[in-house]
């Protein structure tokens, strides 16, 4: 890399910078993995305390069908929760932006929801909806997604600039036109940011909810049973799958954000 940048002024070309952005974290990851493997296989830290990356990957491959099924279960719960929670968040935020009464009424509810720990709700909902229903987990993911989407959307609805509002008034635009032409487009980046934040929360809550009873088979319950039976390498393999699942959600919503905002100014990323 130094060869390509040598002789150039201090600023990197955009291409080099893009490459570096991908290569740098991968390099760090490989170094950490290498050190980890070194600790286990050369220094001799017990495999029981710290399973080696190799054994985790071995378990990952061996249990792949079960891991895939578990990821699908947890992923579906998180996705449903994210969609329902986001829709509710956008809907309620629109109402709150439109009518002050709704705003006043919803403010304490949202504040309460924002501070409710998932762990407090999970056992209650899990037993409420029975041992073989995923509904409790989906509801928890929806609740967790709702809050950031609601807050960001409401903020977005309030970002219209005075000069733009004056312009709409000068054009004698009716309230529907103002909504379509000004308020919604102004709010879109904020809504998308809310959904991106919610996506990680949805996965985390769907997963954590599984630690508190309900049907087996999701990533969360498999992590806890594997750990309980001292199959640490396998537990780590499920953890690895959870990380991948979280990343997929995050990247998908990030891509959505980029895609929608690319049509706007500055190619997205605000």
Which residues contact other proteins (rule: CB under 8 A)?
Answer: 161, 163-164, 166-167, 169-173, 177, 181-182, 185, 188, 263-266
Closer residue to other proteins, CB minimum distance, 104 or 270: 270
Closer residue to other proteins, CB minimum distance, 7 or 162: 162
Closer residue to other proteins, CB minimum distance, 104 or 262: 262
Residue 164 CB, nearest approach to other proteins (Å): 6
Q: 156-161 long-range contacts, Cβ below 8 Å, gap at least 24?
A: 156/186, 156/187, 156/188, 156/189, 156/190, 156/191, 157/93, 157/94, 157/97, 157/183, 157/186, 157/187, 158/97, 159/186, 159/187, 159/190, 160/186
Three-state DSSP class for 231? coil
Residue 166 CB, nearest approach to other proteins (Å): 5
Quick one: which of 156, 154, 158, 180 has its CA closest to 168? Answer: 180
Q: How many CB atoms sit inside 10 A of residue 71's CB?
A: 19
Residue 227 CB, nearest approach to other proteins (Å): 49
Residue 88 CB, nearest approach to other proteins (Å): 26
Closer residue to other proteins, CB minimum distance, 4 or 177: 177
Closer residue to other proteins, CB minimum distance, 217 or 268: 268
CA distance 231 to 249: 27
Residue 180 CB, nearest approach to other proteins (Å): 10
């Amino acid at each position: 890399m130094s060869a390509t940048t040598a002789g150039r002024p201090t600023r990197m070309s955009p291409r080099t910078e893009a490459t570096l952005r991908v290569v740098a974290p991968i390099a760090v990851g490989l170094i950490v993995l290498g050190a980890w493997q070194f600790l286990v296989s050369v220094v001799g830290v017990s495999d029981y305390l710290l399973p080696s990356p190799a054994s985790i990957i071995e378990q990952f491959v061996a249990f792949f069908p079960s891991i895939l099924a578990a990821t699908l279960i947890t992923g579906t719960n998180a996705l449903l929760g994210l969609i329902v929670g986001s829709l509710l968040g956008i809907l309620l935020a629109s109402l709150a932006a439109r009518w002050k009464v709704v705003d006043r009424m919803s403010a304490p509810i949202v504040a309460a929801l924002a501070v409710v720990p998932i762990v407090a709700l999970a056992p209650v909902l899990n037993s409420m909806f029975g041992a073989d229903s995923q509904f409790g987990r989906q509801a928890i993911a929806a609740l967790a997604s709702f809050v950031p989407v609601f807050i960001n959307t409401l903020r977005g609805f309030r970002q219209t600039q005075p000069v733009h509002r004056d312009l709409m008034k000068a054009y004698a635009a009716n309230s529907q036109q103002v909504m379509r032409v000004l308020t919604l487009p102004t709010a879109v980046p904020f809504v998308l940011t809310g959904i991106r934040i919610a996506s990680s929360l949805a996965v985390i809550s769907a997963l954590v909810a599984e630690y508190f009873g309900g049907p087996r088979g999701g990533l969360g319950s498999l992590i806890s049973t594997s750990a309980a039976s001292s199959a640490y390498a396998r537990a780590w393999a499920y953890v690895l799958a959870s990380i991948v699942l979280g990343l997929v959600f995050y990247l998908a919503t990030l891509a959505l954000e980029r895609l929608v905002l690319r049509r706007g100014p500055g190619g997205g990323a605000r």
